[in-house]
Structure 1
């Protein structure tokens, strides 16, 4: 493990017992202590680069105060432009930011954009109350306009400050104002979340030792046969997953120990977003709680879901919620694949300026288009057994697609990524394009046969079927 990884590990490990201590604090003390701890972590790990995060926070506060109505769009532009300056600061003669300051800046960007949206929602609901002369509780709307102290406290709260998960300002306020935090579940869900972390950690260390990423960049690697080169990306993505499974499960455990994101199951909380319905528990029925709000990874479904589009849903779940609510709806396209492409482009920019991010993220829409084409042309025409076989093949190709895209994400440079992809003959790109072409050919052939033998009322055009599929996907995502 690198020195930076050891620091992350120490921070995650320390946050778990500290979290249990925070349950004993009153709301004002809890707010101040979480801010002091978070600021200490930031200053120790980032030093002078703490100024980057502070400027981002103060800039967002000024935007909200000056123009709350346009704050979401302006804050998005402000934070993303500052990310660009932050990443080019070394080129401008400024000190090179530390990896820790980069991690803090990423989470802070999500928080500031979300905060601006929450403040706008608060004022809009307030105006409705004035015009209707009535007040009705609205799920997810903050109770008051945050002060500058509230904003700084939320920004530098030690929970998830470097590792995530992302959580909204409303979630933070709910955490501070928990009426009886000691009565909320903590030990059992915390241990449940940690039970596989030693396994993930051991697998990460052992497989990474046998299949180091640096070997891919050597001339010796290219001397191996195609099968070796192809299978190597499977090992690399496995290491990648185990690393993040360990880190995110540990970070979630730190939130669980402190009680952050603990809501009744009846509130139907979503990762990142929090409760989605008003919930009033029955006084005669024991309340069951969950920590879905701060769940950042679903390890099982990440590995075993069938579709590429579903794989994204279970990975970095709180950030996916942020993208789905603040980026995807504002995409300048209507088609699902194009909107997904726009969202992936923004996600790539958020991650960094390395070309490998863009090469990887912008391959996702191609894969989505491929699986959509094959589902409409092949799977829909199969029986139950045939669909089961199709799904297993689909799952296998989904995993290979993520293996393939992961190489760009970890190699970072365009030259290294293209060099590796060319060493396996751009196989997954070819498979994706082949599936799209085959799907359209099969649909076109099926359409001609239908025109010959079917009545006008039984015909369904290929374009109409694809449109229905996209509309159903959009409706399903909106419902989430």
Structure 2
């Protein structure tokens, strides 16, 4: 028992701090003064950083302060670009600190630094995005249009938080340890709108927490029975090919339980404090918040707020059931760490200027946000190659299938998706190129060959399918191609 505690000391401390953050939520939520509440949230956040990081707390604190100063010093036109390059540049320095004669920080400090990057860069893009949207709205107003529709306040309001508000947003303890990411607007709404007073925060928190013991138990059991390091041993290499091929399944299953427990606890910190509570009529989306009728929600009276139904979709990171059951890798990516997926989509994918390189830019930023190890590139950057083949088979065989046929094809696609994720997750967990090469060599790099074969066969089948389609004739008449052709 003592050896277990010693070995997992940092994780136990981190887990304890997450539980503390959940427990303090109701007290934090009950503070009436907005300014006192902001300061208490920031001081708690700074305290958590210092407890987790010790002297390494210098990194997340100093980088966030410099980042928010840059936001205010740079013009609104360029603040997002300046902040992006500074925060990611510092993230590289932070992870290579030993090359500069400084001690490397713990993995837990790395998580905090990653969240700080999301918040500081995210708010800079919010400020710039609101300025661009308002400018575009004014141009449209200058044009005669008899069918103008009332614009939502989400698109017509310039976000210009003060330096102190940026400070409070960056360091507020809610979701600081491991996410989820939420926008500055969500943070501002939390203090200025009444939703957290009337949402069933305790009920949502209990409902969210109840699965955490199961995730932790499964993680501890699987990681002890099937340890990661065993995959690099000679004993593992002497096992059958089938055993070596399927070993990543249990590694990835254990890893998922760890992520599920951490993300679920992180969501519970938000629900306990009331951050991310919005009326369901806003059709709230992870990371973003309300997607419709924000102006109406913003003007909601206390009486209406009391009667409203609420959800915490804004701070939902993991759709656990979806992660386990969805058929395709494309859908799996949508339900895994949804808050970060939202950040990457809004900050990188939608704002990258070269359309043909958008997906590559998004994947590259996702990789370097996770780290510089080869495992992140193998895991994340190889997804499009599988997706190319998967999309073909999905359209040809699964999309329009029904009944038993759809279930059988769906199971096959689910198995292949799960196997692909497990194969890639092995690289993610092994991290370094030499360790990845040892395992992939033990299974002869077979899955990359399978991907290529799937793609080539899929392209051929797709061409055959296109040739079998009826040709369009003049007058939009359709006539089936004769079998003799």
Query: Over aligned residue pairs, what C-alpha RMSD do you find?
Result: 2.6
Residue of structure 1 equivalent to 2:260 = 245
Q: Quick one: structure 1 residues 454 and 144, their matched pair in 2 at CA, closer, same or farther if it must change by over 3 Å?
A: closer
1:19 to 7, 15, 25: 25
Residue of structure 1 equivalent to 2:166 = 151
Residue of structure 1 equivalent to 2:91 = 83
| 1:181-225 Cα deviation digits (max 9, x unpaired) | 443211111111111111111111111110011111212211111
Q: Quick one: structure 1 residues 117 and 454, their matched pair in 2 at CA, closer, same or farther if it must change by over 3 Å?
A: closer
Residue of structure 2 equivalent to 1:200 = 215
Displacement of 1:433 in angstroms is 1.5
- Secondary structure of 1:25's aligned partner: coil
Unpaired runs of at least 5, structure 2: 143-149, 481-485
Matched, 1:323 2:330: no
Matched, 1:53 2:60: yes
Q: Using the TM superposition, name which of 121-130 and 258-267 deviates more.
A: 121-130
The TM-score, its normalising length taken from structure 1, stands at: 0.88
- Measure, in 2, the Cα distance between the counterparts of 1:180 and 1:62: 31
- Secondary structure of 2:307's aligned partner: coil
Alignment map for 1:221-370 (pairs within 5 Å): 221-278=236-293, 279-280=296-297, 286-331=307-352, 334=355, 339-370=358-389
The answer on whether the counterparts of 1:377 and 1:440 sit within 8 Å (CA) in structure 2 is: no
Q: Using the TM superposition, name which of 66-75 and 45-54 deviates more.
A: 45-54
Residue of structure 2 equivalent to 1:477 = none
- Measure, in 2, the Cα distance between the counterparts of 1:105 and 1:269: 27
Alignment map for 1:326-475 (pairs within 5 Å): 326-331=347-352, 334=355, 339-379=358-398, 384-450=403-469, 454=471, 456=473, 458=478
The answer on whether the counterparts of 1:57 and 1:151 sit within 8 Å (CA) in structure 2 is: no
Matched, 1:41 2:48: yes
| 1:432-456 Cα deviation digits (max 9, x unpaired) | 2111111111122234445xx7554
Q: Quick one: structure 1 residues 142 and 297, their matched pair in 2 at CA, closer, same or farther if it must change by over 3 Å?
A: farther
- Measure, in 2, the Cα distance between the counterparts of 1:141 and 1:232: 52
- Measure, in 2, the Cα distance between the counterparts of 1:410 and 1:19: 33
| 1:285-325 Cα deviation digits (max 9, x unpaired) | 93110001110101000110111011111111100000111
Unpaired runs of at least 5, structure 1: 461-480
Q: Quick one: structure 1 residues 379 and 51, their matched pair in 2 at CA, closer, same or farther if it must change by over 3 Å?
A: same
- Measure, in 2, the Cα distance between the counterparts of 1:376 and 1:126: 40
The answer on whether the counterparts of 2:134 and 2:158 sit within 8 Å (CA) in structure 1 is: no
Displacement of 1:404 in angstroms is 0.8
Q: Using the TM superposition, name which of 208-217 and 280-289 deviates more.
A: 280-289
- Secondary structure of 1:327's aligned partner: helix
Residue of structure 2 equivalent to 1:212 = 227
Q: Quick one: structure 1 residues 449 and 153, their matched pair in 2 at CA, closer, same or farther if it must change by over 3 Å?
A: closer
Matched, 1:162 2:168: no
Q: Using the TM superposition, name which of 370-379 and 227-236 deviates more.
A: 370-379
Residue of structure 1 equivalent to 2:198 = 183
Displacement of 1:142 in angstroms is 6.5
